Structure formats: C-alpha cells, structure tokens
A and B are shown apart, each in its own frame.
Chain A
Amino acid sequence: MSVIAAPVPSSILDQDWRKVLRWGLICGGALIAMCLVGMPVEMDRRAIIERYLSLGYLTVLFIPVLVGWVASTQVVLEGVEARKQGPFDLVTGFVVGAIGGGFLALLMVALDSWNLRDPLVNWSPKLFRFLTYENGMGFGAVAWIVTGAVLGLVGASFHIVPRTVRRVTSFVVFGLISLSILESLIDDLSEGFRLEWLDEFMFAKKGGLTVTSTIVIGAAIGVLSLVTDGRMKAATERYRNMEGVERQKTSIVLFVVIAVLCGVLPMFLGKIMNELLANVGLFLLLALGLNIVVGLAGLLDLGYVAFFAVGGYTTAVLTSPNSPWFAPELHFGIALIFVVIFATITGLVIGAPVIRMRGDYLAIVTLGFGEIIRLLFMSDWLGPYFGGAQGVTNIPGVDLGFATVKGTDPRSVFYLVLFFCAIAIYVSWRLQASRLGRAWMAIREDEQVAEAMGINTVSAKLMAFVVGAVLASFSGAVLAAKVGSVFPTSFMILVSIIILVVVIVGGMGNIAGVMVGSFVLIGVLGGPKQPGLLQEFQNFKLLIYGLLLVFMMLKRPEGLVPSARRSRELHQEEFLQDAWLQDDKLDSDDEVSVGDGGAEEQ
C-alpha cells in the first residue's frame, strides 16, 4: 500500500488561519455561553481545592483546554501519513485559547458598559467580579487572555508529551476533581466505615480538598495510574475473548460481586446516599421496562410515564386511608396485584389504538396519551376519586412484618426497589432469548416482513407494551409507598423523556447499559426532582442532559455500554471489514461465493 506523505508546514506560523479562527470563535462562544448560563457564578461557592480553585472557575477553565486539544488534533486519514505533531500544534492551541480569552475580556467590557439584565438574567455585577477576580477590568482582561492562551497551549501540548505523562496527568486531574465532587459521598462512606480521620484529612472544613491532601492524593493517583497502566485493557480484552463456560463463569462471578455490593453497601451509607440509591433504583426500574418496549420491540413510547402514574395512583387509592372516594386500606402486597391488573389494562387500552402506527407517529400519539393520563388525574372531573391537584396523601409504608418500608428509612426503600429491579432484570434477560423476544426483534427490524413470516405483530407489540407497563407500575407503586403521597405533578412528561435519555445514553437494548445509564444520569446528575451527587448542577441538569445526549448521538450513538447487536448495527462497515478478513481465513474453499465479496450495502 502506498502512503501519501502529509504536507509539512514550512514554519510554525504557517497555520491554517481560517481553522484557527473558527476554533477560536467556538472557544469564545462556549466561554461566553457558559458565563451567561450562570454556571460559573453559581458554582463559585463550591470549592474544589480549598482557597485556590472553585467549581465555578473549573467550569470556565476547562473550555480552552478542551478546545485547544480538539483544534490541534491531527486528522488521521487512512493511506495518508499523518504529520508529526509538534510546536506547530502548540501555536494553534495557543492562538485558539488567546482568542477565547479575548472574548471573555470583551464580555467583561460589555458587562461594565451596559446593563442587559432584562433579557440575560446572569448579566450581573457578580459575574463581572467573578471574571475580574475582583481586581479591576484591566487586570481581568489581560489575565483572561493570558490564561486562555496558556490553557489552549496546555490542551495542545497533550498531543506532544509522551503517553505516560499524558496518562498520569489525566488520571491525577480527573481523579482529584471527581474525589472533590464526590465529597458528600466520601463524607457519608467514611462515617459509615468509621474512618472519620480520612474525611478530616482530605477535606477542608468549608469544603474542598486541602492543599496537603491534594498533593498526597494526587501523587497516589499518579503512582496508581502507572502501576495499572494497560492492566484494565488487558482484563477487558481477556474477558471479551473468553468463550463458553469460562465466560459464563466469569460473568457469574461479576454478577455475584455486584449483587453482594448492592446488598451490603447500603448498610454503610447514610440517609442521603441511600435516598439517592433508592431514586436510582426507581428510575432503573422504569428504564428497564422502557428498554423492553423501545430497545427490544422498537416501539418509541414517549408516554411511558402514564404507567408510572397508574402504578402510583393505584397503590395510593388502595392503601391510603386518605383516599377521597374509596379507601379499602389494603396491604401493599395485595394492592400490588391490582397494580399489575390495572397496568395491564392501561397498557392494553393505550396500546390497542396506537399499536398500528409506526415510528414517529407512535411516538407522537403516546406522548399525547402520557399527558392525557396526567391531566385526567389532575382534572376536576376525576377530582373526587383521585384528589385532583391535591393528590392522595398519607400512604402508609410497606409493612413486611419484620420491618416497615417507608420514606423516612430510605435504606429499606432501596432494598424494596432492588427486589423489583431484580425481577425486571430477570424478565428482560429471559425474554430476550425467547420466542417472544425474537418476535420483538423481528418487528423492530421490519414489521411487514415479520408479519409475512407468521408473527402476529399486533399481539406481540401489545405484549411488549404490557410488560413495560407492569414494570413501570411497580416503580410507581414503590414511589407512592416511599414518598407517602402522589400528585399529578410527579408524573410530568419530563419523566418519560429522562427515562428515554437514560436508556439511550446507557445503551439501548442492553441491561448493563441501562444500569450504567441510570447510575450516571440519575445518580450523578439527578432525576427530574431528585438531586444527584452533583447537587451543584441541579439547576443546570437539563442543559447537561441535552449536551450529553447531543454528544452521545454524534460520538457514540450506541450508548455507554452498548449491546453487541446495536453496535454492530451502527458500525456495519467495520463489522463487514472484520467479517471479510475472517472469511478469508475460514473459507478459502468456498468456490461459489467468490466474487460476491459480501460487502454490498442494502
């Protein structure tokens, strides 16, 4: 194969200035947008490293680094020799960062000259003080241009430094930032394990890592990153190459470890963390159900929250003494039977009319139904039965005989949710490899052909709807018992969308992916009303959700932990190339299919 040499720039100033300018504008735009969104000011209160760095500055400072790095990345094309990265790229990063910093300086001038608080809420003197480090405009402007340039340079230099240095620095930086952000979790854990001294050593009284601990922990992480270099990759590679029994054994061990962790960990966690885990569990349960409907059967259901609401309200009416119209005060376990029945009926009632629609139409109609259910519970017409906007309150916890599960004891709620999640995981896992699961996959692929191959698509799709509905209603039932009350506002359309985002970001069609998705999104960022680990980001949650979704769609559409099938689907070409190479080895004796290569696109 001939390799074309890449053009070598004659001097380091022989830049593609258009490109540099473009990235500079992007950098500046991102910085200004970040400031005007209000994230830096709001998060300035939260310290990362005591006295020296706050989360607010971090949200601004990372931008030039990132953009500098991206802007100076060499595009490597197959068959073309890539230019060696060097001082040339440093210049790119430097200029890009400087332009970005310049934009911030301009923003400062503008902040000082005009008052645009009306359209832009965050156009405030506070932002001005934040940007100038309270040192006056001249200092601020110069400081930001210099900082931007230096940070852009740092970003670009990542291409040049040796791999080890890159690994160690990125580990140390990310490790320190995550440790600092997870401060509340570490507080909680160290209390649970009676390791208060650790907490005292790590964190300053007002929050943030202390300078000493930053140095010590940073060094520790650095050493750790050197020791573990390549180990993780080798381990996943080994796992991937395992076959049959061996792989099964390893999977079982992994599963047992995770199960034990789930069972034991909550014992050592405080209230807040358990509450958080319970929320993650509730959303995981919803996401697992939606994963069956969307991931397996391919029915884009945007009104999934309807079933969540039905589960919640059924439990509320049947168990609460305050139910306005009919209050049998049943036990949670008995109410659960009715929850299943009503969820099934709702699944059939909503499913039957919409099931003949396809793709986008189905999504729009289910979106409508999701709102209709909420508005019905909200309406004056059904108010006498379901309490209207006042909802149903005073729902008792779950009396298990030896313990009572209720909201004030989030640990017990977590265990209850865990139980239902286990059921949901079992159901998804078993159904995937069954006659019904295969029928769903076929419908997802090509509905008309599935029908022509003898699959009754209407009943198969209804079945998917109902299974999803029942799992969601379990989640609703637990929510009712946990919170002790249900209101129509708990079942906003946003819930449907967030669950869908969880499924997509985690990895559609893959149980492990959905689990990772709910931990990352609900656990770290937080649910629609529930705070996550990053409580500071609470107000910007939806923005981050959106950015994350866009980023994932562009860079990794198959999700964080993709199912094999889906990543194959989205990377058909790569798969075909691999298969072609493998074919060459395996059937050179196949004289007949010579000439048809196997790479036609459909």
Chain B
Amino acid sequence: MSLLEIRDLKITFGGLDALSGLNFHVDEGEIVSVIGPNGAGKTTFFNAISGLVPPTEGEIEFEGESIVGLDPSIVTSLGIARTFQNVRLFPNMTILENVMVAQHCRTNQLLVGALLQTKAFKKEEREIRERAEEVLGFFGHRLVGYRMDQPAFALSYANRRRLEIARAMATQPRMLLLDEPVAGMNPIETAELTELIGRLRTEWGFTIVVIEHDMKVVRDVSDRVVVLDHGVPIAQGSYDEVSTDPNVIEAYLGRPVEAAS
C-alpha cells in the first residue's frame, strides 16, 4: 500500500481550478519530484496535503487514513512535514529555537512541568535540545556552533533554506515535502543539497516529495517525476521518460514539439 494516496483532488479558488482531478501516490521510501510551469498548481498541491488549503473535492489518504479537513498541526503530527517556497522561518527566534519549537507535537510538557521544573520537564528539554543539535549537525558546520544562538534572519539565503529543512526534519516526519529546496542557491550549494536530499532518505528514512525547477536536481534525486500543468498531471514516470514526453515539452514551451524543429 502506498504511504500517500490522493484521488480526484480538486481545489477551486473562485472560478479558477488550481487543481482539477489530481490522482497521485507516493510509496514508502520513494523520492518523487513534482514539476511543471509556473501556476501549474504545485504549491497548492503541497498546501492541500499539509492542510493549509482545504480541498474542494477528493480524497487524501496518509497511511490509509483520510487527512482531508484536518488542521495543519495534526497533519504534521501524523508525520508530514514541509518547507516553504518563500522560506518562512521564525526570523527573530534563534536557529536552535527554530528547530526546538518544531518538536512541539512530539513533546507534551505544559504549564505545570515548566513551573515546577519537574524531572520529566528537564529531561524533555534536554532531549529536545539534543535532537535539535543532531538535526542541525546534519548540515555540517554551517548551522552549529556560535550560529545556533543567532537569530534566523541573520542567516545567508542558502542557510535559511537549510534551516527550513532542518526544522521540518525536527518534527520527526515520515514524509518530507520540499518546496523548491535549491531555489536561489549557487551551483556548488545546489550540488551539495542534491546529495543531502539523497542522504535524507538513506540515513533518516524519509519519503520525500520535491517541487523543483532545477532539472539537474530533478534528474539526480528522483525515482519518479510527475508533471503538472493547469492543475492536472500530464505525464509521469522516470526522468528520461518525462523529459522526452511531447506533452511536457509543449507545456513548458507553450507550443507543440513539431513547431520547434
């Protein structure tokens, strides 16, 4: 059975069909890329899965259970974590706090523990911190050391993207949704992050769905590529199959292949 199963997903904003009848599935341990021209509905698709936008019609099942209509926080606690296309960190919290706060749904100490400083509270705080440091350590030396206590707005663009991934990892998900993880990075950083995405699967066991415009990244990381255009999937398969598909080329170029030659 697949980890995530989407059937006939339809999302309408006013008169506009952002997604119209999308069928999609992700198997455990897969890395799937979602590509498509601007406005194809990729981010809406992520928003629908993570619960930020309620679907107009259709079914989204995670591990066989429907997650339609659940609050984003509950979806996250079920094991789906995401990053945002336009990097949305908590800019005035420190890097460490950004990652610590993401473990909210995996921890449960409330008022009493904090006020009485119970053993359980202290233990949990220690664990939260250790886990945060472990997650940050995944990105090498860039997010650890003196940087951990700097506010997130002080980070470079690439580091912000890394921190966003770290924050998503800290929610201890089963599936990661990465929205354009390498946008704005230079070629060296892109290559490095491509490798890290692979390691996220092998070392951390995450199933990953990536939205990406950089075709080199798509080619290098994905097991399977799904192409969206105007809210419908127009092709899917391996990178090589998809990249030669005439429909896809037409969607990207805006005209049929024949006319190009």
Residues from chain B with a CB closer than 8 A to the CB of A436 are: 109-111, 114
With an 8 A cutoff between CB atoms, is B138 at the interface? no
Q: 1/0 contact trace for B62-98 toward A, CB 8 Å?
A: 0000000001111011000110100111111100010
> Could you say which residues of chain B place their CB within 8 Å of the CB of A448?
52, 72, 88
In the docked arrangement, what's the CA distance between A470 and B189, Å? 51
For B88, what are the chain A residues with a Cβ–Cβ distance below 8 Å? 446, 448-449
Alpha-carbon distance between A441 and B100 when the two chains are bound, in angstroms: 12
B154: nearest residue on chain A (CB-CB)?
A: A579
CA distance A598 to B186 in the complex (A): 14
Contact of B50 among A452, A569, A592 (CB under 8 A): A452
Residue B247 interfacial (CB < 8 Å): no
Please state if B93 and A441 are interface contacts (CB–CB under 8 Å). yes
Would A438 and B101 count as touching, CB distance under 8 A?
yes
Q: Tell me if A442 is interfacial: C-beta within 8 Å of chain B.
A: yes
- Identify the closest chain A residue to B76 (Cβ): A454
A451 and B110 in contact (CB under 8 A), knowing A430-B115, A595-B186?
Answer: no
Known: A575-B154, A579-B154, A586-B146. A453 touches B167 (CB 8 A): yes
Determine if B110 and A453 form an interchain contact, defined as CB atoms under 8 angstroms apart: no
Q: B104 CB to closest chain A CB, in angstroms?
A: 5
Contact A449 B84 (CB under 8 A): yes
B171 at the interface (CB under 8 A from A): yes
CA distance A597 to B113 in the complex (A): 42
Interface footprint category on A? 35 or more
CA distance in complex: A582, B150 (Å):
11
Decide if A135 is an interface residue (CB 8 Å cutoff): no
Any chain B CB within 8 A of the CB of A408?
A: no
A572 proximal to B (CB < 8 A)? yes
Residues B114 and A445 in contact, CB atoms below 8 Å apart: no
Q: Which residues of B contact A452 (CB under 8 A)?
A: 50-52, 72-73, 76, 82
Contact indicator B114/A430 (Cβ below 8 Å): yes
**What residues of chain B lie closer than 8 Å to A590, measured between beta carbons?**
141-142
Q: Do A454 and B92 have beta carbons less than 8 Å apart?
A: no
Query: Taking the nearest CB of chain A, how far is it from the CB of B205, in angstroms?
Result: 19
Q: Which of A572-596 contact B (CB under 8 A)?
A: 572, 575-576, 579, 582, 586-587, 590, 592-593, 595-596
- Residues in A whose Cβ lies below 8 Å from that of B121: 434
Complex contact A439–B104 (CB within 8 A): yes
| A580 to B, closest residue via Cβ | B154
Which one of A303-311, A312-320, A409-417, A455-463 is at the interface?
A455-463
The one of A453, A457, A595 in contact with B101, judged by C-beta atoms closer than 8 angstroms, is: A453
Contacts A575-B154, A586-B146, A595-B186 given; indicate if A454 touches B93 (C-beta within 8 A).
no
Contact digits for B218-232, partner A, Cβ 8 Å, 1 yes 0 no: 000000000000000
B158 near A453: Cβ-Cβ < 8 Å: no
Q: A575-B151, A596-B156 are in contact. Are A455 and B101 (CB under 8 A)?
A: yes
Contact: B72 with A430, CB < 8 Å?
no
- The answer for the CA separation of A445 and B87 in the assembled complex, in Å, is 13
The answer to the question of B260 belonging to the interface, with a C-beta cut-off of 8 Å to chain A, is: no
Pairwise interchain contact A593-B142, C-beta atoms closer than 8 A: yes
Within 8 A of B (CB), among A448-482: 448-457, 463, 467
Residue of B nearest to A597 (CB): B156
Bound: A595/B74 CA distance, A: 39
Q: How far is the CA of A586 from the CA of B142 in the complex (A)?
A: 11
Contacts of A177 in B (CB 8 A): none
B155 within 8 A of A: yes
Closest A residue, CB atoms, query B189? A592
Measured CB to CB, the closest approach of chain B to A427, in angstroms, equals 6
**Chain A stretch 288-326: residues in CB contact (< 8 A) with chain B:** none
The answer to whether A565 and B92 touch across the interface, beta carbons within 8 angstroms, is yes
Partner of B104, one of A430, A453, A463, A569: A453
Indicate whether B159 reaches chain A with its CB closer than 8 angstroms: yes
Bound complex: CA A596 to CA B141 (Å): 17
CB contact under 8 A between A596 and B90, given known A453-B104, A455-B105: no
Q: List 13 A-B contacts (CB under 8 A).
A: A431-B111, A431-B114, A435-B107, A435-B114, A436-B110, A446-B88, A449-B89, A457-B73, A565-B93, A568-B92, A592-B189, A593-B189, A596-B157
6 residue pairs, one from A and one from B, having the closest CB atoms: A454-B105, A434-B114, A454-B76, A445-B90, A598-B156, A596-B156
Footprint of B on A, CB under 8 Å? 426-427, 430-431, 434-439, 441-442, 445-446, 448-457, 463, 467, 565, 568-569, 572, 575-576, 579, 582, 586-587, 590, 592-593, 595-598, 600, 602
Question: Which residues of B does A touch, CB under 8 Å?
Answer: 50-52, 71-74, 76-77, 81-82, 84, 87-93, 97, 100-102, 104-107, 109-111, 113-115, 117, 121, 124-125, 128, 141-142, 146, 150-151, 153-159, 167-168, 171, 186, 188-189, 192
